[in-house]
Structure 1
């Protein structure tokens, strides 16, 4: 638990520092959008999440190369998370900058594929699952079924996080709840197995850094200075999915992939934003810290 808290705090620190360093870049015209208030806002601030995880992983790799002993599983967790956030961050950045109009949702993206004109969204729909399969291949070399299940968890989680990124701070709060749930799940599993050891939690370290970096940007996001964009939402979701793959047993992963598939398909017919607005506790958490809407 101490390791996870340390990873979270390091992520927060890197998030604050990297956002400050990147603000001049993010304020260039290519990154500027107009929000619902008609004010300019920088998109693709999720680059900070990608850089935070990659930088920390690089530092840990140097320590490992110097034969400095690290807890088992730390390097694997961070390296795979770094690959996940980098790959899905690239796809998200393309989507943020392309500003495709028209095609949206699974049906819209499928239509664009069959029309022979790929949008950034339809490219992400194809490349995301492909990248997820490559990512989990070292973990599931002997089972096609679990290769597909684990790859689907990562790809569907990445897309679901993007679906939640419809209001300032929402996807960061969503990620915090997911991280807390995974910590509890790992703790419960370890207690039931009577093996409450550090190795039970190290698979969550990469996710802790990613969520920490997002939390480090949360004040700027809530003040509507920056948006994570798909560049941040997709990597956060992918990191959550990867953490599930690294820490949970097969029955849990199977349940998770079914739930994720259901939620993704449900989004074609149901607005998650509308549901959040109608449910009091969800609305209160969603609006916590956010600037009030102008009448």
Structure 2
């Protein structure tokens, strides 16, 4: 329990300190954006969350290999997400949306910021999953499964899919203040229990520290914060599951991603009692 409290507290302090440091920068005004309410909010919350959550999770990691996996997934997810936040707002980038749109642009010879983000998160997920395979707890699980080389490689690919898929899911949900962080709490709270729980606690501590400012529409997470937050939860989930668990998680993530191409998550939430109230909880009233 003490390690979980320490990781959560460190993640929270680091996120708040990073946010204050970024907002004091003379160029902080370049991060201002207009949200769906027409209010001016700062993208500073994204890199601040990425930094705090990555540090808190790394400190709480159960092994050196898991800590390296956390640093790879969190830092890369935050960095490529921030690149997309900044470059993706340019006029020539705004018209390209969705995975199909980015691939279509590539066929035309254009590399979009969104494609850079997708490739970066995917590569980071693969590296992080490979690092997790060196974790003593994961190796012990593989030994019990008597996994061969092919099965271990498949498990790494499944882990990469879980990490990248969770990063993408949180990014898809980050369309309203606090929504991504609330989803992270729902997904991550059960993972605080058991081995590696401090890793998740560090991630959630940073997220909780910035949630009030997010709900009050002072900051927004953007792709930087949402991708880092999701990638870190993906690392925690991959570290706790074997091939079957990873495969099941990947099926759910793939299904939700496919559904997002057809339906609006915001509309589903607004039309569903319970989800609608949870989504609005703590949020600044519309005026």
**Residues 156-187 of structure 1: per-residue CA shift (max 9 Å, x gap):** 1111110000000110111011111324xxx5
Q: CA deviation at 1:239?
A: 0.7
**Residues 191-241 of structure 1: per-residue CA shift (max 9 Å, x gap):** xxxxxxxxx422x32332122112111111111111111110000110111
Moved over 6 A (4+): none
Cα pair distance change 1:170/1:73, threshold 3 Å: same
Aligned to 1:196: none
Question: Aligned pairs, how many?
Answer: 267
Question: What TM-score comes out, normalization by structure 1 length?
Answer: 0.83
Aligned to 1:135: 128
Cα pair distance change 1:109/1:223, threshold 3 Å: same
Aligned to 1:171: 180
Mapped contact 1:26–1:32 kept (Cα < 8 A) = no
2:221 maps to which of 210, 220, 228? 228
Which secondary structure does the structure 1 equivalent of 2:95 belong to?
coil
> Any stretches of 5+ residues in structure 2 without a counterpart?
135-148
Question: C-alpha separation between the residues in 2 aligned to 1:42 and 1:120?
Answer: 20
Question: C-alpha separation between the residues in 2 aligned to 1:159 and 1:54?
Answer: 17
**Residues 31-90 of structure 1: per-residue CA shift (max 9 Å, x gap):** 1111233332111422112322455578x5xxxxxxxxxx98254433321221100111
Which secondary structure does the structure 2 equivalent of 1:109 belong to?
helix
Q: Aligned ranges for residues 148-227 of structure 1 at < 5 Å?
A: 148-183=157-192, 200-202=194-196, 204-227=197-220
Question: C-alpha separation between the residues in 2 aligned to 1:205 and 1:72?
Answer: 7
Aligned to 1:85: 74
Once superposed, what is the RMSD of the aligned Cα atoms? 2.2
Q: Which segment drifts farther, 4-13 or 166-175?
A: 4-13
Question: What TM-score comes out, normalization by structure 2 length?
Answer: 0.85
